Amino acid sequence: MNARNQPGRIRIIGGQWRSRLLDVADVPGLRPSGSRVRETLFNWLTPHLPGARVFDAFAGTGALGFEALSRGASQALLVERDAAAVTALKRNAKALDANCDVRQADARALLSAPNPGRPFDIVFLDPPFAAGDALRLCTLSADNGWLAPGGCLYLEQPAAVTVEPGPPLEPIREKTAGQVRFALYALAEGAQQ
């Protein structure tokens, strides 16, 4: 196996698993959230993390879901379509003894249907940039009961694209780092589920 085919690794940057390395599958188009972006995001999320239930909808490497668990979230659902990425996610979850459910599924299809269970306190949306459906995914997360009223929705997108979900999602913070724009929204407390 040459160096190009060997899986990469990314580091958890805070919490109980700080400095632990996560295996990253060699999957075309896989784009882990950078450490600078994750550090800022999790500084924003600090008051929301203790005991939170999180949904990492386009998990990829699992960096967002595992980072949330490391910093105090109680459980996570990690959804990823690619089989090789799911294998790496399951291996990482086992190595960390993480309280998470890893599912191989299409996050778009999942979000398009009503959530059959309890809504999540935090939803991470970091879809493939080329799809161009970030606004739709935000709306589905709020309207189909995936995000709890008062919960936080994280959206990562190309810096050149500006998606503003609008009510019932209210902007909390946003920032641009290099070629990435990332933002945090809250679902209004009175939003219907």
Q: What are the boundaries of each domain within the chain? A: 3-25+33-187
Write down the pLDDT at residue 2: 33
d(CA 155, CA 93): 23
Helix or strand run (H / E) with residue 65: helix 63-70
- List pLDDT tens digits, range 70-123: 999 999 999 999 999 999 999 999 999 999 999 999 999 999 999 999 999 999
* DSSP summary character for residue 14: S
- List pLDDT tens digits, range 32-76: 777 888 999 999 999 999 999 999 999 999 999 999 999 999 999
**Please, what CATH class does the domain formed by 3-25+33-187 belong to?**
alpha beta
Longest dimension (CA), the chain: 54
Residue 90 token pair: 């399951």
Write down the pLDDT at residue 57: 95
d(CA 34, CA 13): 11
User: Which residues are within 8 A (CB) of 161 and not within 5 positions of it... i.e. 6 or more apart?
Assistant: 129, 132, 134, 181
